[in-house]
Structure 1
């Protein structure tokens, strides 16, 4: 207090209006504690250390009790405010809302060129089907894109619903040549995945090991014959190097469904969790596409099944 009074000796504090006149009405009307203790301390100080007048002391006391209320109000208004995303329902800080919208819900399309495009590979040369990365960073299940510009019927389309809506909107706006980044990335596709012919003897061995029953094995063989009749690959592996534990397979599907618009569907296997995923079935529920993908993986990489499935185990989904 002595150092503070010495520093205020030549200040113009008495000539300045009291801080309470600058505060809002709500703050100036707050009840203040009686400044008797501070007045008594000031009266006990020597005159050398306290050359200020009585009016200055009262103003100092008023300031000492008014400033904490201002600081408390600043802290109250400075608290972090959370808000909810209207698209995904995520609760996040207000300062991070703009970055979240740009990263997760932005409609900006990728500027595609030679050094910046989505990885893609041809999975079916007969119908012009390609597997393209869904996004340019991290792992995500690829998408099927068709670009067939030969023969009687020409088809250029992406299986994603948002890309189809984007193309329809562009056509209505007079931009008939506007395409999504998945289709535009096909200009830089230079690779065709090689098909591995799945052997029926391997499938029968899986039946003996009780991976699935004879009915599912017969369904796999029927799907294989249907693929051979239409001259398309039954199952091919697609690897873009996004994850070492996620393995993707593009499997033939003869019928058109809501989850399969282009005649093929992706099946993914998580090697760490030993789980299979297909868009046509719920988790832990078997389907023909999962059975075919298991058939392919058991023939090409059998070591993944040695520690997961013992000989005495029942059917696995």
Structure 2
């Protein structure tokens, strides 16, 4: 039997990314965007009575749009298909007025921010949805470094397609990040304070480590882990070479869930000599051919000469 629900067979849930229902009224769920690296959450909507089927990822929306134009309007993206195995909705702890008043008394939030938080909280209550829904991936056998919060916004934009945004708290650095970064609300982000309200109320020991930094100083996690990496060399791919390359990248080049702090914060000195870290080619058996090693040596020597010329 499944250790998650105790009902289905074990294979139905094991090995799958968690899918949580956060709003049964509007059919909103939270799922991981990718199955590797930092598990960034995304919102998906599947409301059968209202016939609303949508995903927050632009690539998924394009995929379903192309499928509809090709005569397959019912085609769903991977994230929407997984809503069939979603965990049942469990309401989180509701926000309490006493908590935000205590935050004001301790100087963690201003009176003006308190009023703004209360306004958003009351609007969420009027729509019968949770103002803040915490997401703990650590409860689903994933890394517990980041705590994510689905926060009610009451508006729809490119950064909150379903009237909700996502804020992130890094338990190691104490920094916050909100999905609204880059929007008109970048400087005045109320969603971070709503999330802080819930965290201070339910996990005060974690809120003590929070750093009150401006949005300009907060790193965009998704940009950090999924930056555009150019590939100048594009060989001809065969069916077997694609499989070999995919297995190699999956087994040896994946970004870990919990990146070491020194790897992202400490700058390493430029090495005096460039040496290959891999001596065997991942795509063919045996060591690299001599001509490739010679080319690497020539490239290294030219880079060293360029560095010496720049110094002079």
TM-score (norm 2): 0.59
Counterpart of 1:291?
A: 193
Following superposition, the deviation at residue 276 of structure 1 comes to 0.4
| 1:249 pairs with one of 149, 172, 181 | 149
Residues 274-295 of structure 1 deviation map (CA, whole Å, 9 limit, x = unaligned): 1101111369955110000000
- The 5-angstrom pairing of residues 272-283 of structure 1 reads 272-281=172-181
Counterpart of 1:220?
A: 117
| 1:203 pairs with one of 95, 100, 118 | 100
Check whether the contact 1:148–1:154 (CA below 8 A) recurs between aligned residues.
yes
The runs of 5 or more residues in structure 1 that have no matched partner are 1-111, 310-314
Count of matched residue pairs = 199
Cα gap change, 1:245/1:297 in structure 2, threshold over 3 Å: closer, same or farther? same
1:120 corresponds to 2:19: yes
Counterpart of 2:4?
A: none
Check whether the contact 2:145–2:171 (CA below 8 A) recurs between aligned residues.
yes
The runs of 5 or more residues in structure 2 that have no matched partner are 1-10, 215-312
Following superposition, the deviation at residue 307 of structure 1 comes to 4.9
SS at structure 2 position matched to 1:280 = coil
Distance 1:268 1:287 in 2: 13
In our comparison, the structure showing a higher alpha carbon Rg is: 1
1:138 corresponds to 2:37: yes
1:304 corresponds to 2:206: yes
Following superposition, the deviation at residue 191 of structure 1 comes to 2.4
TM-score (norm 1): 0.58
| 2:163 pairs with one of 237, 260, 263 | 263
Check whether the contact 1:193–1:236 (CA below 8 A) recurs between aligned residues.
no
Distance 2:15 2:71 in 1: 27
RMSD (CA atoms): 2.3
Residues 48-77 of structure 1 deviation map (CA, whole Å, 9 limit, x = unaligned): xxxxxxxxxxxxxxxxxxxxxxxxxxxxxx
Distance 2:191 2:90 in 1: 19
Check whether the contact 1:227–1:252 (CA below 8 A) recurs between aligned residues.
yes
Check whether the contact 1:267–1:290 (CA below 8 A) recurs between aligned residues.
yes
Cα gap change, 1:281/1:212 in structure 2, threshold over 3 Å: closer, same or farther? farther
- The 5-angstrom pairing of residues 1-317 of structure 1 reads 117-150=16-49, 153-241=50-138, 242-281=142-181, 285=187, 287-307=189-209, 317=214
Distance 1:277 1:247 in 2: 11
